[in-house]
């Protein structure tokens, strides 16, 4: 608090203290979780050298802790999901905000929010009973439980986040900016792609990052539809073969390991990795927002 | 009333409503070509709405209704088959808030031309210089044409918006309180460039004060609650108004 501010009333100060405690304890919680992860997970590197941890075979029962297939599995599924979800999500947001007539928008917005609320297990059902058979029959894959199936489900899960955050960003672009472009003789279409979307760019980046965060951290649906085979997804057809992700591995194996065992620590190390990746993604999203603010950009 | 022959823009019995809310009533107005027409009146009297009818900027609004005709060079701009984008290239508009498009100074000025007709680099370059000069901004930005437009000061941004409109080489320039956010020096610069421009361009301006209106007026129209109370050439409305309501307003005894 600045020294030259007028003395705040007692109630003001109490509220401020309360807010500060709440804010700090949230940060404290995150730090504690990270410390806990580190404490439980890092010791694995005394038993499994980093080189082996980045190996290509994950057979904990036989002492192989090569996490590379899991890392690449998560990466493959997430990247494909993002590649599917981002264009779709942005186009939907543009449609909802810029093109749809008023009543359609009023209908779509709550519908999209409902989508966001569907439990991931339910999407897992959908993946197993609808998408998996479809992948098997149309692509001729040996099984329908593949990386592609997981990616499609993840894309579906990331969509509501991407759409609503991107739509908010478009909504924050002043109407007068659109008017300025239209008044120059630009068509509605040119205005959308040359003015409105660029003006909302930082919010759209945030939307993508949040969608990606949602995809990479998702466990249940992915576990149900990706087949969970810990193989290196390096061949050209990997997308149509089963994969195993980091999250699915932790969820499936955590219940069976002895506290403090190498396997236990290895799973925590995977958790650290996941935490760091999600943290980085969120940091990128946040810095996009800050950069925009500093620039004194349009809001 | 302006002689209809020399009127660039004519409103023939125009009424306009947002929903059930009629905001312009039976407007009959002739706007003389290559002069500055000042359109003034209290807040909410329909000035902005009237301007936006001239470049059809209200087309996208839901539930509005227009009766009467708006003519540009004796052609009904609301007639079926009118090319609205082409109309808006002929009729430029500058808004109250300076609103640079996201991008550089150069991008802003050349936004209109690159959308449409002109693609040759040499033409674009000379257009860029010319437009910025006519908006009295060239000297201040000539060394940083490729820096982001939103780093300019408010006054510079507004002149950039004027340059952006001028790059279209419009026949008509509509300005809605273009200097409301500007300091006196920037305001004077903008007014000066408008007086230069009137030789080649028909200007319609909603001034941000009665004084500004009086300074710029070649022709003026006073609007009150959607009704066109009085119109007349030169500074007549400001020095010798005929209607009591106009007189009350310009002498400040009103609203
Ligand atoms: N998009 C809109 N939808 C509904 N009503 C509107 C809309 N725009 C303007 N109006 C109404 O039309 C009337 C005239 O508005 P307008 O903006 O044309 O006035 P103005 O003379 O430009 O006022 P100001 O000096 O405050 O800019 C006002 O009563 C306003 O509430
Ligand atoms: Mg107005």
Residue B34, Cβ neighbours under 10 Å: how many? Answer: 15
Is A172 within the bounds of a domain? yes
SS3 B49: helix
From its phi and psi, is residue A130 left (phi > 0), alpha (psi between -120 and 50) or beta? Answer: alpha
Q: Which residues in chain A have their CB less than 8 angstroms from residue B92's CB?
A: 183-184
pLDDT at residue A6 in the model: 62
Residue A2 has pLDDT above 80, yes or no: no
A88-99 pLDDT per residue, tens: 999 999 999 999
pLDDT at residue A282 in the model: 83
Of B89, B99, B150, the CB nearest to A185: B89
β-sheet bridge partners, residue B64 = B18
B163–A contact, CB cutoff 8 A: no
Is B108 within the bounds of a domain? no
HEC sequence for chain A = CCCCCCCCCHHHHHHHHHHHHHHHHHHHHHHHHHHHHHHHHCCHHHHCCHHHHCCCCEEHHHCEECCHHHHHHHHHHHHHHHHHHHHHHHHHHHHHHHHCCHHHHHHHHHHHHHHHHCCHHHHHHHHHHHHHHHHHHHHCCCCCCCHHHHHHHHHHHHHHHHHHHHHHHHHCCCHHHHHHHHHCCCCHHHHHHHHHHHHCHHHHHHHHHHHHHHHHHCCHHHHHHCECCCCCCCCCCHHHCCECCHHHHHHHHHHHCCCCCHHHHHHHHHHHHHHHHHHHHHHHHHHHHHHHHHCCCCC
Is A7 within the bounds of a domain? no
Binary contact (A298, B168; C-beta < 8 A): no
Please report the ipTM that was assigned to this predicted complex.
Answer: 0.88
Task: Indicate the number of domains in chain B.
Answer: 1
Shortest CA gap B225–chain A (Å): 23
Write down the residue that tokens 């979800």 correspond to: A85
Chain A, window 64-83: residues with a beta carbon less than 8 angstroms from a chain B beta carbon: none
Structure tokens at A30: 């995150």
Rounding to the nearest 10 degrees, give the CA dihedral for residues A202, A204, A208, A213: 60
Task: Indicate the number of domains in chain A.
Answer: 1
A282-295 pLDDT per residue, tens: 888 788 777 665 55
Q: Which residues in chain A have their CB less than 8 angstroms from residue B101's CB?
A: 177, 180-181, 194-195, 199
Q: For Cα atoms B234, B237, B239, give the angle at the middle one, nearest 5 degrees.
A: 85
Domain hosting A50: range is: 44-294
Count of pairs with CB atoms under 8 A, one residue in A, one in B: 68
Residue A133 has pLDDT above 70, yes or no: yes
Tell me how far apart the alpha carbons of residues B128 and B142 are, in angstroms, rounded to a whole number: 10
pLDDT at residue A294 in the model: 55
Domain hosting B209: range is: 7-99+171-250
Q: Which residues in chain B have their CB less than 8 angstroms from residue A174's CB?
A: 99
B62–A contact, CB cutoff 8 A: yes
Burial class of residue A32 in the structure, from the number of CB atoms within 10 Å of its CB (0-12 exposed, 13-18 middle, 19+ buried): exposed
Tell me how far apart the alpha carbons of residues B144 and B152 are, in angstroms, rounded to a whole number: 10
Pairing relation of β-strands B202-206 and B36-40? parallel
pLDDT at residue A7 in the model: 65
Which chain A residue has the Cα nearest residue B161? Answer: A180
Pairing relation of β-strands B172-176 and B91-94? parallel
CATH number at residue A265: 1.10.3720.10
Q: For Cα atoms A12, A13, A15, give the angle at the middle one, nearest 5 degrees.
A: 65
B107–A contact, CB cutoff 8 A: no
Tell me how far apart the alpha carbons of residues A113 and A115 are, in angstroms, rounded to a whole number: 5
A144-169 pLDDT per residue, tens: 899 999 999 999 999 999 999 999 99
Tell me how far apart the alpha carbons of residues A122 and A127 are, in angstroms, rounded to a whole number: 9
End-to-end CA distance of chain B: give it in Å, rounded.
26
Is B118 within the bounds of a domain? no
Chain A, window 106-165: residues with a beta carbon less than 8 angstroms from a chain B beta carbon: none
Pairing relation of β-strands B219-224 and B227-233? antiparallel
Is B39 within the bounds of a domain? yes
Is A155 within the bounds of a domain? yes
Q: Which atom of ligand 1 is closest in space to residue B19's alpha carbon? A: 4
Q: Which atom of ligand 1 is closest in space to residue B177's alpha carbon? A: 27
> At B217, which helix (H) or strand (E)?
none
Say if residues B160 and B135 touch (Cβ distance below 8 Å): yes
Interface probe with B: pick from A104, A173, A183, most Cβ of B within 10 Å: A183
Is A215 within the bounds of a domain? yes
A202-239 pLDDT per residue, tens: 889 989 988 888 888 888 888 889 888 888 888 888 88
Alpha helical stretches, state H, chain B: 47-54, 84-90, 105-109, 111-115, 121-134, 138-141, 154-166, 184-197, 210-216, 236-239, 244-250
Write down the residue that tokens 């290895």 correspond to: A266
- Higher-confidence residue of A1 and B243: namely B243
pTM, two decimal places: 0.80
Write down the residue that tokens 């009086």 correspond to: B214
Residues in Cβ contact with A2 at an 8 Å cutoff, skipping those fewer than 6 apart: none
SS3 B131: helix
Distance from the CA of B244 to the center of ligand 2, in angstroms? 23
- Higher-confidence residue of A160 and A7: namely A160
Is B111 within the bounds of a domain? no
Mean pLDDT, residues A55-78 taken together? 91
A195–B contact, CB cutoff 8 A: yes
**Average pLDDT along chain A:** 88
Is B1 within the bounds of a domain? no
Helix axes B121-134, B184-197, angle to 10 degrees: 120
Ligand of minimum distance to the alpha carbon of B227: 1
Is A33 within the bounds of a domain? no
Q: What strands lie across the sheet with B202-206, from one edge to the other?
A: B75-76, B64-72, B7-18, B21-32, B227-233, B219-224, B36-40, B202-206, B172-176, B91-94
- Taking 50 as the pLDDT cut, the residues of chain B under it are 255
Tell me how far apart the alpha carbons of residues A85 and A204 are, in angstroms, rounded to a whole number: 13
pLDDT at residue A296 in the model: 46
pLDDT at residue B134 in the model: 86
Burial class of residue A25 in the structure, from the number of CB atoms within 10 Å of its CB (0-12 exposed, 13-18 middle, 19+ buried): exposed
Mean pLDDT, residues A246-259 taken together? 91
Distance from the CA of B82 to the center of ligand 2, in angstroms? 26
Tell me how far apart the alpha carbons of residues B99 and B161 are, in angstroms, rounded to a whole number: 7
Is A13 within the bounds of a domain? no
pLDDT at residue B1 in the model: 53
CATH number at residue B238: 3.40.50.300
């Amino acid at each position: 608090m600045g020294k030259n501010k007028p003395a705040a009333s007692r109630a003001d100060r109490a509220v401020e203290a309360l807010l500060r405690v709440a804010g700090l304890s949230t940060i404290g919680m995150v730090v504690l979780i990270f410390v806990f992860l580190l404490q439980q997970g890092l010791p694995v590197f005394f038993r499994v050298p980093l080189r082996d941890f980045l190996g290509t075979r994950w057979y904990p029962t036989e002492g192989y802790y090569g996490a590379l297939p899991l890392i690449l599995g998560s990466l493959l599924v997430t990247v494909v999901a993002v590649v599917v979800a981002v264009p779709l999500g942005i186009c939907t947001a543009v449609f909802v905000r810029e093109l749809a007539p008023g009543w359609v928008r009023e209908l779509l917005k709550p519908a999209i929010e409902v989508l966001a609320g569907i439990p991931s297990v339910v999407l897992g059902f959908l993946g197993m009973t609808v998408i998996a058979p479809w992948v098997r029959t149309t692509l001729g894959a040996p099984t329908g439980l593949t990386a592609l199936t997981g990616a499609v489900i993840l894309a579906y899960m990331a969509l509501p986040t991407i759409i609503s955050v991107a739509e908010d960003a478009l909504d924050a672009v002043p109407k007068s900016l659109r008017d300025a472009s239209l008044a120059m003789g630009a068509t509605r279409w040119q205005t959308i792609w040359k003015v409105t979307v660029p003006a909302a760019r930082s919010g759209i980046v945030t939307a993508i990052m949040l969608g990606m965060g949602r995809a990479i951290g998702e466990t249940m649906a992915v576990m149900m539809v990706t087949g969970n085979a810990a193989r290196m997804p390096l061949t050209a057809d990997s997308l149509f073969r089963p994969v195993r992700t980091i999250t699915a591995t932790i969820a499936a194996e955590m219940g069976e390991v002895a506290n403090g065992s190498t396997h236990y620590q290895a799973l925590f190390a995977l958790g650290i990795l996941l935490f760091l990746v999600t943290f980085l993604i969120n940091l990128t999203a946040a810095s996009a927002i800050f950069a925009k603010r500093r620039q004194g950009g349009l809001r | 009333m302006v002689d209809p022959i020399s009127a660039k823009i004519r409103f023939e019995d125009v009424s306009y409503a947002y929903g059930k809310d009629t905001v312009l009533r039976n407007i009959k107005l002739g706007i003389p070509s290559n002069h500055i027409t000042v359109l003034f009146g209290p807040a909410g009297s329909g000035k902005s709405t009237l301007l936006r009818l001239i470049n059809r900027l209200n087309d996208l609004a839901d539930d509005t209704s227009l009766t009467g005709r708006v003519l540009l060079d004796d052609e009904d701009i609301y007639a079926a088959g009118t090319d609205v984008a082409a109309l808006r290239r002929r009729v430029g508009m500058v808004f109250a808030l300076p609103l640079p498009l996201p991008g550089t100074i150069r991008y802003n000025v050349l936004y209109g031309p690159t959308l449409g007709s002109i693609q040759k680099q040499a033409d674009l370059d000379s257009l860029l210089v010319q437009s910025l000069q006519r908006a009295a901004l060239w000297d201040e930005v000539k060394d940083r044409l490729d820096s982001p437009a939103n780093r300019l000061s408010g006054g510079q941004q507004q002149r950039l918006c004027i340059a952006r409109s001028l790059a279209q080489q419009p026949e008509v320039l509509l300005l809605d309180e273009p200097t409301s956010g500007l300091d006196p020096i920037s305001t004077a610069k903008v007014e000066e460039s408008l007086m230069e421009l009137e030789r080649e361009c028909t200007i319609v301006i909603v001034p941000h004060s009665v004084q500004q209106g009086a300074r710029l007026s070649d022709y003026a129209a006073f609007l009150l609650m959607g009704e066109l109370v009085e119109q007349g050439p030169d500074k007549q409305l400001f020095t010798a108004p005929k209607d009591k309501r106009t007189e009350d307003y310009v002498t400040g005894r009103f609203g």
